[in-house]
Every structure is written in C-alpha cells, then in structure tokens.
C-alpha cells in the first residue's frame, strides 16, 4: 500500500485535497497544481468556492491568472462537498485555529475537518495537518478520531503534521522556496509526507515526530513575540528617559554578530504571532508549567494600543485640542503592511479605544475600503489634501508601501507615526513618534 502511494505521488497521479482555502490553503493548492497534481480545494465558504471556480482570486499573493491557468488545465477544482475526500490520495488540512475568549485553544475547525475525513476516508490515504496548534494535537486529537474507523495509522493510512510558513506579501519567500518541516506519527508517515511535499517544495526537513513539528512552529512565533515585547518595553523605557529608541536600534544593528533588530510598534496582529504563543503557554499550564516569559511579552504587546492613544492625546493637547470630538484619521488598518487582512490588527483596538473616548474616527487603507467596529460601519476616506487638512490628528498604524507619507506629513496639522516611516522628513515639528 505504501509503495503504491509512493508511485502515485512520483508519477503525479495522486489526487490532492486541501481543506481550507485561505492564506495557507490556496497558495498550497496552486503550488500542487503547478506541480502537475490534480487538486480538490474544499471549503465551507460558498462565496470563496464560487469565486475560485470563476477564476477569481481573493488573496493578494495568488494572482487570478494562476487560478485561471489551473482551471484551464483542469488541475484545480473548488467545492463545498466533503465527499470528494473518498477520491483523494492525500488530504491536507489548512483551517483556522483561533482562541476562545478565555484564551484557550479552539481546535473545533480541526476536529470538524477530521470528522469529515473520517466519514469518507479510505485505505492508503495520507492526512497532513498544517494548521498551527499546540504540541500533541495531531497525536492526541486527530489520531483517535481517524483510528475509530478501525483503520490503523502507519499501516492503513498515514498521518503527519507540517506547520505552515506563510508570510503574506513577502516578495522573496513563498510556499515553494520556504523550507518545510515534516513530522509524522509513524516513520512511514514521515517518509510519505516528505515525498509528497518534495514534489512541489524545494527543501524538506524531517523531524522525529509530529509533536516536534508542532513545537517548531510555536518556537518560531514565540521567538518573535518575545523579542517584539522586549523592544516595545525598551521603547517605553526610552520614552521616559528622553532617548530616541529608533536611533538606538539603528546603532545596535551595526553589530555583525549576536544581535537581530526588532522594532517597536502599535501592537502585534495577524493570526500567528498574537495567538500561537498563547497555545504554547496553555499547553505548558496543562503540564504544571507557567510560561511567564511568554505571558509577560504578550501582556506588554497587548498594552501598546493604549500607549498609542496616549500619544495621540498628548499630541492633541500640545495644540490645545482635547481627544473628545477631535477628528482622528487612521492610516492603515490591516495587521501588517501590504495585506488586506484584519485578523487581530492592533488598529482595530486603537480605533475602538478612540471611539469610546469620544474621538471622531475616520480611516484610510488602500486594501480595505470598508471597516466594521462593534456593528458600526466605517467607509474609508479618499486619499487627498482635504482629508488630511480637515483632521486634527493623523495616525499612521500600518505602513503600506503604496502610501505617500511625505504628502501626509506636509498636509496634516499633527501626525502620530507608530512605524517611523517619517524618519527622513526634515521638518518634524508636527510629527510625534513612538
């Protein structure tokens, strides 16, 4: 059975299913499609499926031309019907893994996907989880569900974890050239998963187990949140000491060893960095270990939106203007530059705090023309001189590449720059930086 699956993969006869066609699943589906495999994209979102089958992409990193080419070659088909699983040789799960309000992991999307697989699975299939989760999910949650069919992992089917490493808007690293981590429940599962991904990804790194692979992903993002938390705390300290933190970082990064620059900002966003370390912290608590370093970093970063609002308030006070009823224009609401993704964006909390304090908030984001905060619909303003001159304060939250920041500085009474994008502006009399 193992040899038969290997031959199908090597001959490009294996049919691949991707459950979840978001920022992770769709680029992966296109990658397998370009590699000569027939791909079935499965998603519960009818609108997504309809758009894909019309040849329209909804993700910036995947051009519609790639979708149309795959449809023309008949190497991609999108569907909401999970019964397609019974025709597949490999099923890859790329579904969301959010947090409950209690800050506990929500693996319900994974469980739902696995239940669908269980219903239609057959002997000889490989199942791979890519969704970021806590160490043990593949073995402790997925494996019992799949083996409840009477089939045995490593003999009748294969199960592995391979953490997604998607960095939206990154022009240098994408799905194909980003090294891929593979960890199977059994040796056979690691072997077959490695072979599968080797067909479409340049570099594959095998590890000893699915738990190790799960931990790798959490280490990567915990490393980032801890360092971001540290530099945000350093920024708060420098503010008290009257020191320019940006100058400090620029000088420190000239050291050719032992230092990696991280930069302060209005908070952290996206699905990974704010969420993944909490998964790890939760799992540690289940084993009687308090991840104090991680929890402290998350706390520091979560306070940054309040610090930004304080800076806005201080800047307005210098002009004799209270925050209440002040016209505040927010530039950029996506969680990071050059994406149209709002997940966990610090801009949302900043806008919420400003509105609760009585500010009259408007926003501009070239990727997001509409925004909804607590059932209040906001429409983005036009990027023109009138919008900036009419505002009491302009706040740069997300530093999109296609925005003219010099124009903003020249036409605004007051600018709060949380990203240091105005560092080269000579006249900084109307600019407040973090």
Catalytic residues: 272
Distances in Å between the Cα of 268 and the Cα atoms of 61, 182, 322, 397, 402 are 21, 28, 27, 11, 21
Q: Tabulate helix, strand, coil % of the chain (nearest 5).
A: 40, 15, 45
SS3 assignment, position 40: strand
SS3 assignment, position 364: strand
Determine the Cα–Cα distance for residues 27 and 66; give it in Å rounded to an integer.
Answer: 10
Task: Single out the residue of 22, 2, 1, 6 nearest to residue 199, CA to CA.
Answer: 6
Q: Beta 158-161 vs 180-184: how paired, if at all?
A: antiparallel
Q: What is the DSSP string of 88-122?
A: -SEEEE-----B-TTS-B--HHHHHHHHHHHHH--
Here the tokens at position 114 are 């696995």
SS3 assignment, position 331: strand
Contact 415/409 with Cβ under 8 angstroms? yes
DSSP, res 72: H
Rg of the chain's alpha carbons, rounded to an integer? 24
CB count, 10 Å around CB of 279?
26
Dihedral of alpha carbons 145, 114, 173, 34, sign: positive
Task: Single out the residue of 321, 319, 298 nearest to residue 233, CA to CA.
Answer: 298
**Which residues, listed in sequence order, are joined to residue 190 by a DSSP beta bridge?**
none
CB count, 10 Å around CB of 295?
17
Residue at token pair 């304090």? 357
Determine the Cα–Cα distance for residues 192 and 209; give it in Å rounded to an integer.
Answer: 14
Task: Single out the residue of 277, 280, 250, 284 nearest to residue 264, CA to CA.
Answer: 250
């Amino acid at each position: 059975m193992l040899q038969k699956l290997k031959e199908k993969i090597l001959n490009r006869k294996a049919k691949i299913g991707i459950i979840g066609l978001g920022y992770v699943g769709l680029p992966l589906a296109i990658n397998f499609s370009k590699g000569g495999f027939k791909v079935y994209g499965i998603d519960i979102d009818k609108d997504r499926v309809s758009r894909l089958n019309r040849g329209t992409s909804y993700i910036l990193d995947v051009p519609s031309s790639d979708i149309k080419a795959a449809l023309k070659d008949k190497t991609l088909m999108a569907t909401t019907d999970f019964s397609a699983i019974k025709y597949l040789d490999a099923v890859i799960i790329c579904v969301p893994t959010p947090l409950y309000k209690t800050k506990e992991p929500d693996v319900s999307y994974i469980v739902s996907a696995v239940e669908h697989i269980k219903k239609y699975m057959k002997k000889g299939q490989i199942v791979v989880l890519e969704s970021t989760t806590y160490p043990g999910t593949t073995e402790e949650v997925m494996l019992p569900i799949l083996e409840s069919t009477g089939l045995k992992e490593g003999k009748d089917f294969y199960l592995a974890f391979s953490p997604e490493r998607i960095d939206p808007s990154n022009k240098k690293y994408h799905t194909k050239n980003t090294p891929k981590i593979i960890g199977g429940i059994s040796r056979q599962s690691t072997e077959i998963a490695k072979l599968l991904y080797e067909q479409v990804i340049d570099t594959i790194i095998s590890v000893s187990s699915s738990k190790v692979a799960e931990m790798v992903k959490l280490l990567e993002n915990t490393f980032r949140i801890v360092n971001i938390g540290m530099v945000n705390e350093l920024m708060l300290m420098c503010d008290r000491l009257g020191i320019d933190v940006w100058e400090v970082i620029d000088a420190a990064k000239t050291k050719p060893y032992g230092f990696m620059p991280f930069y302060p900002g209005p908070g952290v966003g996206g699905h990974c960095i704010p969420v993944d370390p909490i998964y790890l912290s939760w799992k540690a608590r289940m084993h009687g270990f308090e991840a104090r370093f991680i929890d402290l970093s998350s706390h520091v970063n979560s306070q940054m939106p309040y610090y930004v609002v304080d800076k806005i308030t201080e800047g307005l006070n210098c002009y004799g203007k209270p925050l209440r009823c002040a016209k505040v224009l927010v530039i950029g609401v996506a969680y990071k530059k050059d994406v149209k993704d709002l997940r966990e964006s610090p801009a949302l909390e900043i806008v919420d705090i400003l509105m609760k304090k009585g500010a009259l908030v408007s926003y501009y984001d070239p990727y997001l023309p509409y925004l909804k905060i607590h059932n209040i619909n906001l429409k983005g303003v036009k990027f023109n001189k009138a919008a900036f001159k009419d505002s009491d304060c302009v706040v740069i939250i997300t530093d999109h590449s296609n925005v003219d920041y010099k124009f903003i500085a020249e036409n605004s009474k007051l600018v709060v720059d949380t990203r240091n994008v105005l560092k080269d502006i000579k006249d900084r009399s109307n600019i407040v930086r973090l």
